[in-house]
Amino acid sequence: MTFSEQFKEVFELICDKMGIAIDWTQENVVPYVMELCERYITFNIIEEVISVVCWSLIMIGCVVGAIAIFKDFKKLEKVKEKGVSQTLYWTKDISYYNGEDWDLTFFGYASAIVGAALFITSIPFLIISVSELLKWCFIPEVQIVEEISILLKAM
């Protein structure tokens, strides 16, 4: 199998993914290949933007959750000290605290641990997504060559 045949097979795979049909019998195929490359670049940029937005929302949700848990623990301290009735974010109304409501503190600690783990885990994914987005925006030719080389190695 020659390089041109492999090139055609790779572009046929990409064409199938993007919904474009290339007529290889025509003399000037370059405009079709350019259109395919532009669509592929646009597709990857949109994909990376969605990824960045999703990871950012996860991180914002973790921060908001941490703030809510922190405020609830402060309110729980008021209940322990003064016996003041407080409404917490993650429970109904607590008007007393007898020291045996382990489920309140357990849920708060478990939520804080899960939120912290999710926040820490999302940091590298957000960095990778931003890095990929910048690569697709500023040097798409290199990205296309890398994608084609990966596809050629898989064949």
pLDDT tens digits for 30-71? 777 778 788 888 999 999 999 999 999 999 999 988 888 777
Angle between helices 140-154 and 3-18 (to 10 degrees): 110
User: Which residue in 147, 151, 119, 149 sits closest to 132, CA to CA?
Assistant: 147
Domain that holds residue 134: 3-154
- State the DSSP H helix or E strand holding residue 113, giving kind and residue range, or none if neither: helix 102-138
Mutual angle of helices 102-138 and 140-154, in 10-degree steps: 100
What is the rounded average pLDDT for all residues in the chain? Answer: 77
Tally of domains in the chain:
1
What confidence score (pLDDT) does residue 45 get? Answer: 94
Q: Which residue has the higher pLDDT, 137 or 68?
A: 137
**Do residues 137 and 45 make contact, with C-beta atoms less than 8 angstroms apart?**
yes
- What band does 73 get if pLDDT is binned at 50, 70 and 90? confident
C-beta pairs of 4-9 under 8 Å, 24+ apart in sequence: 6/152, 6/155, 7/148, 9/155
Cα distance between residue 33 and residue 38, in whole Å = 9
Q: Give the pLDDT confidence of 91-108 residue by residue, as tens digits.
A: 554 544 455 554 556 677
Of 116 and 88, more confident: 116
Q: Which helix (H) or strand (E) holds 141?
A: helix 140-154
